[in-house]
């Protein structure tokens, strides 16, 4: 068999120690280094690329309607946007599984939201909320995600769709 027709070998995957460093870096970025995420109180709930989740507790600072104590629509939008970016970072880490944690985190620095749509389905009532996202397309320059926000009782509060520049 000629070299041009030889089966290609899969790229080396980062080892368990490097994967742990990546998970630590992503968690630190989302929970501590991104100031707005810290203000929102976002915590990493799942680092699985197939099921990424962020969680946050309801606090008085996040209320949008003082009479009813509902979550502010801007908070909902910001959380869904952050969750889409979180899912993309994990998807990029999987797509480039041969790269170090530092290289993957460098890719995050080139990401940015270019379009965001939010559908507010129900009042933002709850003790805490969980946001999840699914990457629907991960191209070389643009990526797309679908996001969901549920309250502590599992009620779907809002959905979102976003596009991000990834190069």
Question: How far is the first Cα of the chain from the last one, in angstroms, to the nearest whole number?
Answer: 37
Question: What is the value of pTM for the model shown?
Answer: 0.90
- DSSP assignment of 69-105: TEEPHHHHHHHHHHHHHHHHHHHHHHHTTTS-HHHHH
pLDDT digits (tens, 9 = 90+) for 91-140: 999 999 999 999 999 988 889 999 999 999 999 999 999 999 999 999 99
pLDDT for the residue numbered 108: 87
All domains of the chain in start order, with CATH: 13-165 (3.10.129.10)
* Higher-pLDDT residue of 152, 167: 152
The confidence score (pLDDT) of residue 66 equals 85
pLDDT tens digits, residue range 48-102? 999 999 999 999 999 998 888 999 999 999 999 999 999 999 999 999 999 999 9
Note the pLDDT of residue 10.
58
Going by C-alpha positions, the residue among 48, 47, 49 that lies closest to residue 29 is 47
Structure tokens at 41: 């109180």
With 0-12 CB in 10 A as exposed, 13-18 as middle and 19+ as buried, what is 42? Answer: buried
Closest to 43 (Cα-Cα) out of 5, 93, 82: 82
Task: Give pLDDT, residue 25.
Answer: 95
């Amino acid at each position: 068999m000629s070299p041009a027709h030889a089966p290609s070998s899969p790229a080396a995957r980062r080892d368990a120690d490097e994967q742990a460093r990546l998970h630590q870096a992503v968690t630190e970025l989302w929970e501590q280094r991104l100031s707005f995420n810290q203000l929102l109180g976002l915590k990493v709930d799942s680092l699985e690329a197939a099921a990424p989740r962020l969680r946050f507790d309801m606090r008085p600072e996040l209320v949008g309607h003082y009479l009813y104590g509902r979550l502010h629509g801007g908070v909902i939008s910001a959380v869904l946007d952050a969750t889409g970016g979180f899912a993309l970072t994990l998807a990029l880490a999987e797509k480039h599984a041969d790269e170090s944690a530092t290289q993957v985190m460098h890719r995050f620095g080139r990401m940015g939201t270019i379009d965001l749509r939010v559908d507010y389905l129900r009042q933002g009532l709850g003790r805490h909320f969980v946001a999840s996202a699914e990457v629907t397309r991960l191209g070389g320059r643009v990526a797309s995600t679908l996001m969901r926000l549920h309250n502590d009782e599992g009620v779907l509060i809002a959905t979102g769709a976003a596009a991000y520049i990834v190069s």
